[in-house]
Amino acid sequence: MDAHDLITRNAAEVVTEEEVEEIAADLEERSSSGSRTQSGDPEGKRAYVGYEPSGVLHIGHMLGANKLIDLQEAGMEVVILLADVHAYLNGKGTFEEIRETATRMQEQFVAYGLDEERTEFVLGSEFQFGEEYTLDLHALELETTLSRAERAMSEIGSGDSVTVSQAVYPLMQALDIEYLDIDLAVGGMEQRKVHMLARDTLPSIDYEAPTCLHTPLISELSTGIGKMSSSSGVTISMEDSTEEIEDKVNGAFCPAGEVDPEPTEEDEARNNPVLEIFEYFVFPRFDEVVVARPDEYGGDLRYDAYEQLVSDFASGELHPADAKSALARYLDSLIEPGREKLMEQRGG
């Protein structure tokens, strides 16, 4: 797979396609000339994603990590911002508490499969209190209306009250992209308003508009309606036991043969979360997927591409129950190293 395909595979959108092509072309040129990207190389292409530190990685973090692994493979340098200041601004606790969870999070990312040598972890507070940063932040504040900043914070639900800190939050995200010298800003689709704000406002203080890549959001597991969230409903995380994974996956909405389930009576869009997780988690990380199937139903099935699995599912050849048990098994093996790290962290 070439650099461009690695960058864009399983991405919900890229802004803009032209800008990504430029990055990909540059990576291709460098790899063919034999100059493998070294960390800290001023010419290297850098991608980043930012997360508020949380003690336990959940499926959203893992989805982002999958993309970062793709980007590393494509030759990019990868930066994970452990956004302690952002977490503080979002009311997640004291700096001490937040920083402690930041360390745990970093270890879990490595356990999940990020190359430790090629991943740079940066604590937001390392650079976000600098004088220059602060002045730039105020300059951005001058360029941004409250309502625009408020709209960019996806976590703010209607009806919730908004603090000034939450309005500053997205502006800092924009500035981080510049200060970390990022060529590609990565985030889930819930980050697109923040990134669009960054593209609009950074040029007004004479910085470049960042190129952005957004990963899809997985549908709510038990209904297929809306998006899976770490704050409500069923979510999958690194602290799930094998049994919990099995139970959660087994409880997932998964109508037989329906790749594109019908909307609900209230006209809410529905997706098949089981297929989504196969597509975004399993196939990117495994060359071959084996679905164990009882002999009475025809024996095991083997796939080396997501499309093959979908086509069997659509035809009815692959039954949801078999798909689910296979999914639980693969998800479990993805989570296992992180789960062990987590137990180690808690035991010590």
In the complex, which residues of this chain contact RNA (CB under 7 A)?
A: 159, 161, 222-223, 250-256, 293-294, 297, 319-322, 324
How far is it between the farthest Cα atoms of the chain? 70
Q: Which is nearer to RNA, 77 or 322 (CB)?
A: 322
What's the min distance (Å) between Cβ of 187 and RNA?
A: 27
Neighbours of 221 (CB within 10 A): 22
Cβ nearer to RNA, comparing 182 with 228: 228
Rg (CA), the chain: 21
- Rounded to a whole number of angstroms, the minimum distance from the CB of residue 323 to RNA is 8
Q: Determine which helix (DSSP H) or strand (DSSP E) holds 88, and give its type and residue range.
A: helix 84-89
Partners of 120 in the beta sheet? 79
Tell me if 169 is assigned to a ligand binding site: yes
- In this complex, which beta carbon is closest to RNA, that of residue 176 or of residue 276? 276
Residue 179 counted as an annotated binding residue: no
CB of 92 to RNA, least distance (A): 17
* Closest-CA residue to 235 (of 221, 216, 252, 224): 221
> Which tokens is 209 given?
């508009």
70 is in an annotated binding site: no
Q: How far is the CB of 233 from RNA (least distance, A)?
A: 8
Strands 184-188 and 211-215: parallel
Q: List the one residue out of 167, 145, 144 whose CA is nearest residue 155.
A: 167
Among candidates 62, 56, 71, which has minimal Cα distance to 334?
62
- Interatomic CA distance for residues 14 and 176, integer angstroms: 19
- The nearest distance, CB 73 to RNA, in angstroms, is 33
Q: Is 191 annotated as a binding residue?
A: yes
Q: Return the number of the residue (293 or 329) whose C-beta is nearest RNA.
A: 293
Least Cβ distance, residue 315 to RNA (angstroms): 12
Instruction: Tell me the C-alpha distance between 59 and 229, whole Å.
Output: 9
Q: How far is CA 42 from CA 29, 49, 122, in A?
A: 16, 19, 17
**Residue 183 in marked binding region:** no
Question: Which residues lie across from 15 on neighbouring strands?
Answer: 212
Q: Give me the helix-helix angle, 164-179 and 192-201, nearest 10°.
A: 70
Of 130 and 255, nearer to RNA (C-beta) is: 255
Cβ distance to RNA smaller for residue 34 or 91: 91
Residue 230 assigned ligand-binding role: yes
Q: Which residues line the annotated binding site for L-tyrosine?
A: 48, 169, 173, 176, 191
Q: Which residues line the annotated binding site for ATP?
A: 230
